[in-house]
Each structure stands twice: as structure tokens, then as C-alpha cells.
Chain A
Amino acid sequence: MSETIARPVSPPASPAPPRPPTKLTLRQRLSIADVKIAPWLYISPFFILFAITGLFPLLFTAYVSLFDWELLDETGTFIGLENYTELFGDAQFWNSLVNTISIFLLSSIPQVIIAVLLAALLNTNLRASTGWRVGVLLPYVASLVAVGIIFGNLFGVQFGLVNNTLEILGLDPVNWQNDRFASHVAIAMMVNWRWTGYNTLIVLAAMQAIPRDLIEAAVMDGAGAARRFFSVVLPLLRPTLIFVVITSTIGGLQIFTEPKLFSELPGSSNGGAQNQFQTVTLYLYQSGFQFQDLGYASAIAWMLFLVIIIFAIANFLLTRRLAASGEADR
């Protein structure tokens, strides 16, 4: 029976000693068949469904991108790489790429810093610690659409609460819609608001996994709180921080809902009058489902896929370098 189960320690099953040929009963045969087939049966739903709804669409996107394919067409007309050449000369595409990266940087960097600081606060000996942790997670449950609408209202140019407050404080109101950088800041605020608590919990988990004796050794050596934090805790958090950065890269480069709902003209996918906060995914949506050009939208999808891969590889290389320098430190 131990043959059926993948015990890491058990010896490989193949060189079994030659047995005298015994006649198996039907029940035994069924049992053996069960053991042989079961794993395949159990993993097949995932692979079949993924092949149909994940892998095939991704590959077929490349195919569609070679066609002039309108939304309601049965099939398109083959035009080769024309969609791509058009895309490379399309200022709106490059604009949306810059917007995406700008919003991504504005959202991920402050988020990681605040998450680490907040995790340090939560890692002190608090009363009702679970209550605080649940509280930190509160924004995470708000739906993206709700967040987009609420922040669109708070950052309203004319009657928004943020501008009202700025005026009361005697500062100039900011044009959160039309100023390109300000609109990126406002959208990044939504992302930060929603995700900081979630990432805080991940960092907190890593902090709690740090062995106490390391901290105590640092105390014995006379290291102050700040020194302990920067020289002991932070280096040990590195893998977790990189994990957080990579997941927020994959999500952040596909940002769609926030800029779509932030727009002053509800329902529009322009991302502002001058496309000042249109992201790549928003442009993809607009090209495919408003301009009804599925071929062009597919080309955008593939370019975005490449950008995400490039960022992921850059992150991976960075990880390795940081990990290597971490080794050297010790």
C-alpha cells in the first residue's frame, strides 16, 4: 500500500522483487486502477479548466492580434503585424504605459514603507491585538468600484472634501482631475488605502517569525530600537518585502477599476480629458469594447503581458542580488 503514497522517505517503488504470479481478484484490480487513476482524475479539473479559460485565450490573443477584427465580426482579416506597428507609433499607448508605471510607483513604494512601520507598531505588545489586525484590514473588504466612486467624490475638484479642507487650511485647491501628476497621486491613494492593511499583515507575520534570540542578542550588544530595526529586523524581512513587491507589480500593472471610476465623466474610459490617467488596461478595454477593435486590443494585451514579464524578471534578478548581498552581510 505504501506504493500508492508519495512518502518522501520511502524507497522508489520500481525495483520490486519478482513475485510469483498471483491471480488478482476483480476487487484488487479495481483498487489498483483506482490508485493509478485517482491523482490524474483529481488534478484534471484544474488543468482542463485552465487550458480552456486561461491558456487558450492567452495564446489566441496573439492570433487575434494579427487580424483586423471588429467586435461583432465572425472572423477578422489577416493583416500581419500591422496592429503592432500602429501600436508602436501610438502616442496614446505610450502615454498609458507611462501613466501605469507612474501610478504603480506612487502606490507601491509608500505602501511598502507604511506597511513595515505599521507592522512594527502592531508587533508591540498590544491589548486586543486581533481587534487591531481586523481593523487594519477594513479597507480591503471595500469593493474596488465603491472605492473608486468614494475617492472620486472625496477628490472632487469643485466640492470635494479634500479640496475643501485644503481651502480651510489656506492652501490652494488642487485640480485632481486635470493635473496629470495630481490625478496619479489621487489614484495611488486609493490603491494604497485599500492594500496597505493587507500587506501590513503579511509583513507582521514575517516579523513574528523572526527568532527572539536574535533580537535579544542585539539588545545584549546594546543596540537601540532603531538600530535593532534597521540592522536586524529589516534584513530578515527582505524575502517577504520582495514577495509583496512582486505581487503588487503583477496587480498594479493591470490597474483598471480605479482609474475607470475616478473619471469625472462617469462611464467614460478615456481616463481624463487628455487621457492623463488612462492606464494600459483601460486603453485595452476602450480599444476592444468601445472602439470595437478586438485585433488592436489584443496587440495591447500582448504588449502589456511583455511589460509584466520584463518587470517580473527585473524583480527576480533584484531578488537574487539582494539575497546574495544578504548572504554576504552575515
Chain B
Amino acid sequence: MTALTVPDRRAPVRRGRRGFGDQRARFWVYGLLIAFLLGSAFPIYWSFLVASRDSGMLTEQIPPLLPGGNFFANASRVFDTVPFWKALGNSVIVGGVVTLTTVFFSTLAGFAFAKLRFRGRNGLFLFVVATLAVPTQLGIIPLYIAMSDFGWTGTLWAVMVPNLVTAVGVFWMRQYTAQVLPYELIEAARVDGCSMIRVYWHVCLPAVRPAAAFLAMFVFMTSWNDFMWPLIVLNAENPTVQVALEKLQSGYYVDYSLVLAGTTLATIPILIILILLGRQIVAGIMHGAVKG
């Protein structure tokens, strides 16, 4: 394979110089990638920059490009202006509960769809796939009416209950389970006297752990960033992080070093997840892409 591409690299074989996927990348490839990454990182850096100075910097013709020392002062003002601790706690609770239930119900349903036989299995799975395309967000009006009938508006129930499971999760786990879990393992466990639920717990779950872990990260991030529905059902006293951010911004006068300190604080937890688990997240997205 290398033998084929080597002449292509230096010999005068036509114009094409860059190989496809096998040659060492050239410096301009790195240059372009660095430029793109700088562009990607800049808005996040900018929000930290403004947060670490005061809003006065925004009126300067050429703003300073190094952070100042006011970040902690601005951050503590965030905690004074909106109930940010409560918002953080709420977001963690909502994200945690929604992630646990989604992963549990999705792996369970994925196991049944992939490995068990029952009447109407294909039809029901097709239904799951079809619901992927249905924008459930459009049902917010009746959902709101229902939540206020239950007296749940303003509470975390209203945010959690509609998000306990997703079709994406079921679809994703079904595809993965079908691929990695051999029938022999299930049969062996059944012969040894496992009930179905123990087969799921002791055989299926360990086998699908990588996909379940990716699903968990994905669900948590989605829940953390969810905005429209929490904005509708929660109020300023009991917000999630995103709702608190919006309240921070909707004063009469926008103090950007305050607001952007808030966005920085809200981004840090997810940034930590990306740094720690970036490799798995990338692998999960690319794996799902080939299946999709």
C-alpha cells in the first residue's frame, strides 16, 4: 500500500501530491486545522476574557487580548444576582435522573428489540425509527397544560418527566446490542437457569457498556443544554443553569462581564467532561455515524 503511494509523493506523476489518508500531512494542513481550532475556541475564550475584566473593555477600540484578574469577582456577582448554586444543583439532578432512566429504559428496550422474539417486533421497531423524525418539541402546548393541571409547573418534575426516555436512545442501543451480543451467551445463561431479567443484567449490560456510556454522556449533555422547555415550565426562583443564564441576561441593562462570567461557569462542567472523555465521545459519534 505504501509502495503504491510513494512514487506519487515525489516523482512527477501528474499534479496530485496529497495522498488520501496515507501520507504524512503537510504543514499547510496543520496550519488550516490550527486556524479552524482557533476560530472554534475563540468565542469561548472571549467570554472568559470579558468575564475576567470589566465591561469597560468592550468600549475600547482594540480590546486587550489577555485575561485580567476580575473573574472571581464577576463570578461571585453571578451567584449574588441569580440563584446559581440552586441552578447548578437542579441541572445536575435533572441531568442525572434523565440520564439514568434513559440509559436503563433504552438498554432494556434495545435488548428486547435486538435479541428477543415477539410478535410485531419489526413493526414496533419501525415505529421507534419513525418517531425519530417527529419533532416532539411541537407538543409543548398540551404538555404545558398537562403540567399545570398536575401542579408541576415550577418544579423539576415538569422538566424531567417528558425526558425520561428517547427514541434515539432505544434506536442506538438496539443497533449496538444486535452487533455485539452473541446468541450463544444468552442461551448459555438461560441453560444455567438465568431469568430474562438476569440475562439482561449479567450478560447484556456488560456487553453493551461502551455504547451505554456514550449514550449517558450524550443524554447528560443534551439535558444540561436544554433550554426551551425549562424556560417555559420553570421560574426565576427555581431555574436550571440555562434558564438562570437567560435571566442573567434579561435585565434592562446588560452587564456583559457579569453575563459572560455566567456563561463561562456554565460551560466549565461540560468542558471538563470533554477533556476527560473526549476520546470516547469522538469514538461514539464516529461509530454511530457509520451505522447511521
Contact = CB atoms under 8 A, between A and B. Distances in A.
A137 B21 contact: no
A39 B118 contact: yes
Given A1-B191, A266-B251, A312-B133, A143 B289 contact: no
Nearest to B250: A267
A260 B242 CA distance: 13
The listed residue with most A CB atoms (<10 A of its CB), out of B8, B43, B183, B228, is B43
A123 B290 contact: no
Interface in B107-156: 108-109, 111-113, 115-118, 121, 124, 128, 131, 133-146
The listed residue with most A CB atoms (<10 A of its CB), out of B124, B142, B267, is B142
Contacts of A206: 289-290
Given A6-B117, A154-B46, A145 B263 contact: yes
Interface string A285-329: 100110000100110011011001000100000000000000000
A126 B29 contact: yes
B202 interface: no
A51 to B, nearest CB: 10
A42 B142 contact: no
Contacts of A168: 61-62
A98 interface: no
B117 A5 contact: yes
A225 B245 contact: no
Contact of B250 (A7, A136, A151, A266): A266
A208 interface: yes
Contact of B117 (A4, A60, A156, A305): A4
Contact of A301 (B39, B138, B281): B138
A285 B140 CA distance: 9
Interface of A: 1-2, 4-7, 31, 34-35, 38-40, 42-43, 45-47, 49-50, 53-58, 60-61, 63-64, 118, 121-127, 130, 132-139, 141-147, 149-151, 153-154, 156, 159, 161, 164, 167-168, 193, 197-198, 201-209, 212, 215-216, 219-220, 222-229, 233, 240, 243, 250, 254, 256-257, 260-261, 266-267, 281, 284-285, 288-289, 294, 297-298, 301-302, 304-305, 308, 312
30 contacts: A4-B117, A31-B195, A39-B117, A42-B116, A43-B108, A46-B106, A49-B105, A53-B143, A53-B161, A53-B162, A61-B141, A124-B19, A134-B282, A137-B278, A143-B225, A143-B242, A145-B227, A149-B47, A201-B282, A202-B286, A205-B286, A206-B289, A208-B286, A212-B1, A216-B5, A225-B16, A226-B15, A254-B135, A260-B246, A297-B141
